[in-house]
Amino acid sequence: MEFPKFKFEPSTSELTLKPSVVAQGVALRYRQQQATSPWQVLSAERVSKEARARVVGRGEEPKAQAVLAEHHLQFGQYRGHTFRWLLENDVGYACSIIASHEKERASGDTSQTPLMSNKDALASYARLFPPMVTAIARRRMREGSLNVRGLDSTLVGFGQHAHKTYKSLYEAKDRESRTYVQWLRKAKVSAGSKVHALQAYVLAREAEKAAAPPAQAPPAATGTASMDPAGPSDADLLAAAMEVDSPTTGRPPPSCTGRPPPSCTGRYPPLCPGHGSGSA
């Protein structure tokens, strides 16, 4: 069986990052015996050959995914355990290893040592499962080794916005979504939580926006008034909002028929035909 039995946080679709009790025991024994337990790192070919033999020995077809699941780790505190075991017992450790490894590969490290090949295989196996893809992306984003847009399609996964993606929530125009995003910018949240990951995305998008070069405004048409380069003030926006929200009174707009607007009275130069320069 090549599919790991993932553990999730209660009532969420978020993988549990903490090590299991079994994994904690393995890590403790590793630390206690590290100095007295020599370990021979196997070649990628031998690791794969032994994994295949275990699959066949169970009477299963040696498909690529099944063989990857049986690969043994060649490094760290869980060396000797299978990739599937790792994803079932310590997702946080797996994400840390894979995020660091992918950062090395992205920086140009193309070496094919047994350890690097073993980590390549682990990353390939983990990325077969969408929850792991999301967990790895979050880890890399927190470490600054992944562009924030790599999380655009991640589902929020909690609360009233659970069905939305990070991108759709951040770019939403409705008042409820905008209020929530504004709250996220300054909220104090628990590190490693889902809301923390969403907050990191929002802040990264804000930083991305701030770093973008300003858009060039098109040249003003001849004979038109130039716009204020600073844009509308808060007072202007408030006044506009009040104007939009206020109910209509039913009065017709001022015109040059009937009672003239102030611009057509004697207090100003006559602008409208039919009104005298000095008449009210």
Could you report the per-residue pLDDT of 124-171, keeping only the tens digit for each? 999 899 888 888 888 887 777 667 777 888 889 888 999 999 999 999
Residue 71 has pLDDT above 90, yes or no: yes
pLDDT classification of 234: cutoffs 50, 70, 90: low
Q: Where residue 222 falls among pLDDT bands split at 50, 70, 90?
A: low
Is 189 a residue whose pLDDT tops 90? no
For residue 27, what are the contacts with CB-CB under 8 A and spacing of at least 6? 19, 77, 78
Give the list of residues 6+ apart from residue 240 with CB closer than 8 angstroms, or none. 232
Helices 114-126 and 44-57 meet at what angle, rounded to 10? Answer: 50
Cα–Cα nearest to 104, from 84, 87, 88, 120:
120
Q: Look up the pTM and report it.
A: 0.58
